[in-house]
């Protein structure tokens, strides 16, 4: 007798067409359920497609509107007055084309209608063609040209007009001059609304600049020169040719191309960050898919057993269900892509504060194809984990139902699939973030998030099981037992809802933390009003006026503007030639503001060397103190030499001390401090710090100050807080919008898992009802179970958020972690209530089934 299978005809090969047909047939009664569990990936795909479509459109819009980003072919900027030699160069660039000059500086303005004062960015623009491309948008529209075509007229940021109850026709005082408000300024070429929030602009004609009296020595003034080049001149070639001379003179420049690249890159970064948030939502959805497929396959075990009995191979059975999942993944991805394409219609509105260009909306086929591809791949990858078990289903299940018929032996393929999932996450993150390190960080972060949530869920199940409260009433015990029964949803819901909660809670915590940092900094006896640009001659009078107003002079600090000429004997030219020195060229071109005093103040701490507060003898290097991180950037240590250039006078110094500085105080902090006895005669201005008790006292003081000393500017802490709140609010809104995808996905996973386990719950409820349980008792069991699940998920998410916020506060923002726990309670209650609501809403059909119908079906 033969002892091999020589008689077996090889007809049982993979017949893909038939397997597809079988997959179609087998899905018949499950399509609605399959669609439901695949729906959990829809939002993730939608988020990705929306962000990527928007990003594609933005990129092409930046390309199309590139010239209006800077409004000229070339912009040359400098923060010091132009020397004659450079003036010649600047004039020569304009030959054959055109040039408009602009001077920008911060100053107080006074709105006569409301008698309000405000620190703004004054832009004194020359009459001329700027902007050569795009336009300054104003209301009335001709105001953008009318304000500089004669007469003392100003164009004022529209939000300022609203805040200060002013309108075109009213007056605004800038320095010594009063201007008629010609119109409301809405948009400047290449500038986003966010920039306007930080520094709202007031345009005045440049011809009146001198008369305002605001150009004082030592003030921080920026000079911009906008060029329209002759048609045959290539702006980039010209800029490259002139770069060494620009650098030597400390000039910055921008061409359409360079601005396009930097703008494109910064928005691409934002888009990448947001698509990672979308990707997290997709991963959450995939966890839902894996869990749903797991339950689905468990219910299909008997069918698989029959097919195996009838001669289907493990591979064939596996393929039948793989095709079903792939088809659903495809449908889910297509639905997500359609939804994402619709959502992106709203995104320009969402991002409008951040955008420098008008964004058009259009279908991005590459984003759609990418989204569908990613959705298909991840849904299959995650579903593979439960699908692989199909290969090991024993046909014996047909004879003995109800016992384990799936091999529990370790499956190498499962490890391979888990590895593939991690690799996919890593590759996706790499494509978005661009560096291996960041991609590893993201992958590790996702892994840690999932693992922590899963561990807490398991721990909770273990604790409930171990310390089961046997003395509690039946309803409570049954609900608690449901948390760890077979096919429970504890792990899935804790991970999916928990991660969504963690994202939202982290955002709230960080926003509050950053705001409270500023608020704390200004509390108690800290200064809350800073006056700057006080000239030497005004110093005593300003202090006197402050005291007359009943306000203390907390600090009066001198500020000297200078540049670095040499570091350790190296000049800018040396650094340019030898990049191994590690010193940035910018160290030589940037102006720095320096003070002098004889001791450290309370926001400073010595971390190296020692401080000599006074220089008595002239000659030799001046011992100075550097902020430690600035010293790192300059690559200097205690004992190294630096030569400073103060308005042409060279001062050799030696690093005598390194200091740590708390920058987050409302205080004048400096990177470089000179001892007394060196800079007293240098051109300088002063900063005065005081503390006002009320808003009206502050407003009154600022008004008086502006009227007496128009060149003196004031920053009050309220203004900083309001601006920061506004900026953080806008950023948080965008991130919250994206986090919403995660929360919604968590809820979809909840709906999916409630529905998937519905059959099991119907059976349980029927059995309980048969045994005499009332509807109320069964409802209570379900409600309490969802309450526990929601509370566990929300609680775990909040714990994770506290951990994430701590890490962000300490390592990224470098602020002490003092979380404001107030918003956490509403988040906890909200998410828990939502879980109970969605759970109960989807369970309502359970009680409506007559017991006999279910028992008969079982029989």
Partner 1 sequence: MSTILDIQDLKKTYNSGDRHLTVLEGINFSLQAGDTCSIVGPSGSGKTTLLGLCAGLDRASSGSVILNGVKLDTLSEDERAQVRNQYVGFIFQNFQLIPTLTALENVMVPLELRGERNVQRQAMELLGRVGLAERHDHYPTQLSGGEQQRVSLARAFSNRPTILFADEPTGNLDEETGQRVEQLLFDLNRESGTTLVLVTHDLDLAEKTQRIIRIKGGTVVSDTGAPVSVSRDEI
Which one, of 191, 102, 200, 83, lies nearest residue 148 by Cα?
Answer: 102
Stretch that binds partner 1, among 25-33, 233-241, 490-498, 632-640 (CB under 8 A): 25-33
CB of 484 to partner 1, least distance (A): 22
Q: Is residue 644 helix, strand or coil?
A: strand
CB of 326 to partner 1, least distance (A): 18
Stretch that binds partner 1, among 2-10, 508-516, 579-587, 648-656 (CB under 8 A): 2-10
Using CB under 8 A as the binding rule, whether residue 486 contacts partner 1 is answered as: no
Which lies closer to partner 1 via its Cβ, residue 390 or residue 712?
390
Q: Is residue 255 helix, strand or coil?
A: strand
Using CB under 8 A as the binding rule, whether residue 4 contacts partner 1 is answered as: yes
Using CB under 8 A as the binding rule, whether residue 25 contacts partner 1 is answered as: yes
CA–CA distances in Å: residue 227 to residues 74, 75, 190, 591: 5, 6, 15, 24
Contact 150, 194 (CB under 8 A): no
Chain position carrying tokens 């809405």:
186
Stretch that binds partner 1, among 26-34, 114-122, 178-186, 349-357 (CB under 8 A): 26-34
Using CB under 8 A as the binding rule, whether residue 400 contacts partner 1 is answered as: yes
Binding track over 283-322 against partner 1, x by CB under 8 A:
-------------------xx-xxxxxxxxxxxx------
Which lies closer to partner 1 via its Cβ, residue 65 or residue 394?
394
Which lies closer to partner 1 via its Cβ, residue 400 or residue 844?
400
CB of 308 to partner 1, least distance (A): 6
Contact 45, 282 (CB under 8 A): yes
CB of 316 to partner 1, least distance (A): 8
Q: What is the DSSP string of 787-836?
A: HHHHHHHHHHHHHHHHHHHHHIIIIIS--------TTHHHHHHHHHHHHH
Which one, of 243, 428, 296, lies nearest residue 29 by Cα?
Answer: 296
Contact 157, 197 (CB under 8 A): no
State which of positions 407-436 bind partner 1 (CB under 8 A): none
CB of 315 to partner 1, least distance (A): 7
Token pair for 456: 């807490």
Number of C-beta neighbours around residue 747 at 10 A: 21
CA–CA distances in Å: residue 25 to residues 30, 37, 322, 663: 10, 19, 14, 68
Using CB under 8 A as the binding rule, whether residue 772 contacts partner 1 is answered as: no
Q: Does the CA dihedral 180-185-190-195 come out positive or negative?
A: positive
Using CB under 8 A as the binding rule, whether residue 15 contacts partner 1 is answered as: yes
Cα angle 633, 638, 640; round to 5: 75
Q: Which of 8, 537, 616, 822 is the binder for partner 1 (CB under 8 A)?
A: 8
Using CB under 8 A as the binding rule, whether residue 855 contacts partner 1 is answered as: no
CA–CA distances in Å: residue 721 to residues 512, 515, 624, 717: 12, 7, 33, 6
CB of 843 to partner 1, least distance (A): 24
- Say how far apart CA 458 and CA 479 lie, in whole Å: 17
Using CB under 8 A as the binding rule, whether residue 28 contacts partner 1 is answered as: yes
Which lies closer to partner 1 via its Cβ, residue 28 or residue 776?
28
CA–CA distances in Å: residue 138 to residues 135, 151, 613: 9, 18, 53
Cα angle 584, 589, 593; round to 5: 105
Using CB under 8 A as the binding rule, whether residue 2 contacts partner 1 is answered as: yes
Give the count of residues interacting with partner 1 (CB under 8 A).
43
Spatial neighbors of 496 by CB under 8 A, at least 6 apart, are 284, 287, 288, 745, 746, 749, 750, 793
For residue 108, the cross-strand partners are 119
Using CB under 8 A as the binding rule, whether residue 13 contacts partner 1 is answered as: yes
Q: Which of 30, 171, 197, 440 is the binder for partner 1 (CB under 8 A)?
A: 30
Going by the DSSP 8-state scheme, the letter that residue 564 receives in this structure is: E
Which lies closer to partner 1 via its Cβ, residue 292 or residue 493?
292
Spatial neighbors of 584 by CB under 8 A, at least 6 apart, are 575, 633
Binding track over 338-377 against partner 1, x by CB under 8 A:
----------------------------------------
Which lies closer to partner 1 via its Cβ, residue 21 or residue 605?
21
Which lies closer to partner 1 via its Cβ, residue 1 or residue 771?
1
Using CB under 8 A as the binding rule, whether residue 1 contacts partner 1 is answered as: yes
CB of 12 to partner 1, least distance (A): 5
Stretch that binds partner 1, among 18-26, 200-208, 242-250, 764-772 (CB under 8 A): 18-26
Contact 101, 87 (CB under 8 A): no
Q: Which of 20, 26, 481, 621 is the binder for partner 1 (CB under 8 A)?
A: 26
CB of 325 to partner 1, least distance (A): 16
Which lies closer to partner 1 via its Cβ, residue 197 or residue 303?
303
Cis amide bond preceding 22, omega within 30 = no
Stretch that binds partner 1, among 397-405, 435-443, 642-650, 699-707 (CB under 8 A): 397-405
Contact 738, 274 (CB under 8 A): yes
What beta strand segments (E) does 583-627 contain?
592-596, 604-609, 622-627
CB of 270 to partner 1, least distance (A): 48
CB of 25 to partner 1, least distance (A): 6
Spatial neighbors of 802 by CB under 8 A, at least 6 apart, are 505, 509, 819
Number of C-beta neighbours around residue 153 at 10 A: 21
CB of 16 to partner 1, least distance (A): 12
What beta strand segments (E) does 510-648 contain?
529-535, 555-567, 592-596, 604-609, 622-627, 641-646
CB of 302 to partner 1, least distance (A): 7
CB of 406 to partner 1, least distance (A): 12
Which lies closer to partner 1 via its Cβ, residue 162 or residue 399?
399
Using CB under 8 A as the binding rule, whether residue 12 contacts partner 1 is answered as: yes
CB of 30 to partner 1, least distance (A): 7
Q: Which of 27, 138, 166, 744 is the binder for partner 1 (CB under 8 A)?
A: 27
Which lies closer to partner 1 via its Cβ, residue 399 or residue 444?
399
Token pair for 172: 């605004």
Stretch that binds partner 1, among 19-27, 52-60, 211-219, 478-486 (CB under 8 A): 19-27
Which lies closer to partner 1 via its Cβ, residue 37 or residue 532?
37
- Say how far apart CA 829 and CA 821 lie, in whole Å: 13
Q: What is the DSSP string of 690-757?
A: E--SSHHHHHHHHHHHHHH-TT-EEEEHHHHHHHHHHHHHHHHHHHHHHHHHHHHHHHHHHHHHHHHT
Binding track over 377-396 against partner 1, x by CB under 8 A:
-----------------xxx
Which lies closer to partner 1 via its Cβ, residue 140 or residue 311?
311
CB of 37 to partner 1, least distance (A): 17
Token pair for 541: 């009078």
Which lies closer to partner 1 via its Cβ, residue 6 or residue 616?
6
Stretch that binds partner 1, among 28-36, 42-50, 234-242, 840-848 (CB under 8 A): 28-36
CB of 758 to partner 1, least distance (A): 17
Which lies closer to partner 1 via its Cβ, residue 320 or residue 368?
320
Angle between helices 412-433 and 256-309 (to 10 degrees): 160
Q: Is residue 853 helix, strand or coil?
A: helix
Which lies closer to partner 1 via its Cβ, residue 24 or residue 817?
24
Q: Which spans of this chain sit near partner 1 (rule: CB under 8 A)? A: 1-9, 11-13, 15, 18, 22, 25-30, 302-303, 305-316, 394-396, 398-401, 857
């Amino acid at each position: 007798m033969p002892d091999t299978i020589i008689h077996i005809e090889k007809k049982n090969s993979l017949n893909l067409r038939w397997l597809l047909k079988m997959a179609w047939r087998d899905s018949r009664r499950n399509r609605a359920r399959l669609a439901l569990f695949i729906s959990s990936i829809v939002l993730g795909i939608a988020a990705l497609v929306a962000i990527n479509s928007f990003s594609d459109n933005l990129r092409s819009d930046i390309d199309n509107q590139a010239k209006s980003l800077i409004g000229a072919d070339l912009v040359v900027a400098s923060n010091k007055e132009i020397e004659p030699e450079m003036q010649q160069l600047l004039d020569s660039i304009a030959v054959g084309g055109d040039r408009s000059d602009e001077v920008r500086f911060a100053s107080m303005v006074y709105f006569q209608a409301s008698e309000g004062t405000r620190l703004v960015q004054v832009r004194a623009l020359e009459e001329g063609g700027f902007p050569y491309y795009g336009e300054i948008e104003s209301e009335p529209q001709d105001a953008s040209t009318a304000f500089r075509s004669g007469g003392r007229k100003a164009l004022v940021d529209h939000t300022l007009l609203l805040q200060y109850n002013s309108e075109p026709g009213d007056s605004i005082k800038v320095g010594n001059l009063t201007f008629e408000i010609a119109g409301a300024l809405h948009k400047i070429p290449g500038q986003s609304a966010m920039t306007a929030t930080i520094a709202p602009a007031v345009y005045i004609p440049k011809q009146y600049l001198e008369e305002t009296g605001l150009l004082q020595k030592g003030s921080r003034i920026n000079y911009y020169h906008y060029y329209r080049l002759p048609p045959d001149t290539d702006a980039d070639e010209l800029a490259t040719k002139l770069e060494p001379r620009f650098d030597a003179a400390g000039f910055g420049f921008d061409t359409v191309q360079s601005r396009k690249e930097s703008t494109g890159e910064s928005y691409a970064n934002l888009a990448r960050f947001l698509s990672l948030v979308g990707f997290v939502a997709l991963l959450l959805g995939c966890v839902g898919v894996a869990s749903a497929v797991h339950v689905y396959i468990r219910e299909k075990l008997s069918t698989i057993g029959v097919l195996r009995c009838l001669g289907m191979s493990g591979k064939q059975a596996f393929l039948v269900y793989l095709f079903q999942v792939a088809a659903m993944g495809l449908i889910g991805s297509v639905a997500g892509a359609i939804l994402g394409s619709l959502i992106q219609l709203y995104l320009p509105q969402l991002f409008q504060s951040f955008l420098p260009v008008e964004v058009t909306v259009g279908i991005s086929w590459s984003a759609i194809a990418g989204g569908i591809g990613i959705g298909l791949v991840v849904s299959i990858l995650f579903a593979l984990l439960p699908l692989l078990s199909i290969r090991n289903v024993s046909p014996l299940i047909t004879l003995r139902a109800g016992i384990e018929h799936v091999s529990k032996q370790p499956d190498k393929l499962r490890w391979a699939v888990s590895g593939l999932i991690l690799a996919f996450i890593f590759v996706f993150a790499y494509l978005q973030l661009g560096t291996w390190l960041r991609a590893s960080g993201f992958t590790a972060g996702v892994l840690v998030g999932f693992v922590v949530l899963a561990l807490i869920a398991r721990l909770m199940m273990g604790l409930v099981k171990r310390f089961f409260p046997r003395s509690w009433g039946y309803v409570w015990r049954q609900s608690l037992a449901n948390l760890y029964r077979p096919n429970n949803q504890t792990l899935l819901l804790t991970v999916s809802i928990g991660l969504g909660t963690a994202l939202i809670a982290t955002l709230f915590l960080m926003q509050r933390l950053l705001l409270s940092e500023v608020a704390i900094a200004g509390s108690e006896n800290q200064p809350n009003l800073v006056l700057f640009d006080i000239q030497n001659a005004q110093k005593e009078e300003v202090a006197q006026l402050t005291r007359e107003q009943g306000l203390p002079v907390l600090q009066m600090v001198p500020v000297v503007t200078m540049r670095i000429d040499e570091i350790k004997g190296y000049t800018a030219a040396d650094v340019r030639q030898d990049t191994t020195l590690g010193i940035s060229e910018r160290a030589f071109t940037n102006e720095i503001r320096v003070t002098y005093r004889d001791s450290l103040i309370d926001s400073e701490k010595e971390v190296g060397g020692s401080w000599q507060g006074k220089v008595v003898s002239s000659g030799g290097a001046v011992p100075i103190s550097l902020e430690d991180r600035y010293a790192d950037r300059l690559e200097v240590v205690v004992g190294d030499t630096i030569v400073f250039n103060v308005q042409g006078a060279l001062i050799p110094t030696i690093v005598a001390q390194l200091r740590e500085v708390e920058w987050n105080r409302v205080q004048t902090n400096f990177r470089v401090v000179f001892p007394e006895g060196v800079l007293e005669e240098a051109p300088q201005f002063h900063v005065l710090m005081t503390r006002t008790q009320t808003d009206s006292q502050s407003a009154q003081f600022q008004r008086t100050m502006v009227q007496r000393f128009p060149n003196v500017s004031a920053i009050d802490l309220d203004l900083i807080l309001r601006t920061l709140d506004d900026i953080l609010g806008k950023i948080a809104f965008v991130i919250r919008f994206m986090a919403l995808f995660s929360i919604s996905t968590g809820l979809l996973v909840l709906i999916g898992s409630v529905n998937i386990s519905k059959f099991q719950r119907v059976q349980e409820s029927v059995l309980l009802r048969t045994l005499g349980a009332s509807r109320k008792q069964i409802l209570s069991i379900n409600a309490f179970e969802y309450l526990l699940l929601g509370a566990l998920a929300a609680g775990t998410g909040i714990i994770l958020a506290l951990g994430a916020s701590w890490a962000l506060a300490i390592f990224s923002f470098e602020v002490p972690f003092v979380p404001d726990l107030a918003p956490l309670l509403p988040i906890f209650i909200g998410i828990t209530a939502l879980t109970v609501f969605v759970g109960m809403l989807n369970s309502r059909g359970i009680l409506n089934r007559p017991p006999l119908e279910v028992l008969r079906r079982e029989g």
